[in-house]
Structure 1
Amino acid sequence: MNCSSMIICRCEEVTLVQLEAAYEAGCRTSRQLKMKTRAAMGACQGRVCKQLLETWIIAKNPASPRDPELLPYRPPVRPVTFGQLAKGDV
């Protein structure tokens, strides 16, 4: 497997190349990278990729201070159909 095609966020299919491009474009915090690439915005809400993303940022610039904007975990969301909403079953 080519390292450049490594997927960091499976839910949103964000690759290492996309993270590198966003970093080079000026995104330095995990929140900035999330907004630029959608990493940690998928169905798992960062439960799978959050730690990898934050570790990658620290590895890119170990001398930088810790990110004050660390990504929060969000509760999982379950799909609701319009029929359920109309009946009030939710």
Structure 2
Amino acid sequence: MVPEDDDDLVICRCEEITKGEIKQAIRNGMRTLNGIKRITRAGMGLCQGQTCQRLVSQILASELGIPLSEVTPTTARAPVRPLKLSAFATG
């Protein structure tokens, strides 16, 4: 569980996003995990949200006054890596 009064608490260690930054995104109109992710980058680091998504979900549910079960998980995507153009040509 996330302490209620500690806005300086780092929630997303990969991107160094604090609880206060997440709460500010919610106050600015973000109502989904994907919205918070887009605005704050929470969940976009090396772990792709595996470490922080549950904490961000708890903060979102608490701030909106909704059950945690109503928070929709983020859209999972495979990591992207650069490819040389020759890889497309040779198929």
Identity %: 32
Q: Normalising to structure 1: TM-score of the pair? A: 0.71
RMSD (CA atoms): 2.6
State the partner residue of 2:54.
Answer: 51
Show the counterpart of 1:88.
Answer: none
Pairs aligned (count): 80
**Helix, strand or coil at the partner of 1:8:** strand
1:66 counterpart = 2:77: no
Query: Which residue of the partner structure matches residue 33 of structure 2?
Result: 30
Counterpart secondary structure, 1:46? coil
Q: Distance in 1 between matches of 2:36 and 2:47?
A: 17
Q: Which runs of 5+ in 1 are unaligned?
A: 86-90
Distance in 1 between the 2:15 and 2:30 partners? 18
After TM superposition, which residue ranges in structure 1, 4 or more long, deviate above 6 angstroms?
none
Determine the C-alpha separation between the residues in 2 that align with 1:36 and 1:72: 15
Offset at 1:73? 4.2
Letter in 2 for 1:51: R
1:21 aligned residue (13, 19, 24): 24
CA contact (8 A) 1:11 1:42 kept: yes
Q: Deviations over 1:21-78 (max 9, x none)?
A: 111111111110000000000000001001111111111123478234x21445567x
Counterpart CA distance in 2 for 1:36 and 1:5 is 18
CA contact (8 A) 1:44 1:76 kept: no
TM-score (norm 2): 0.70
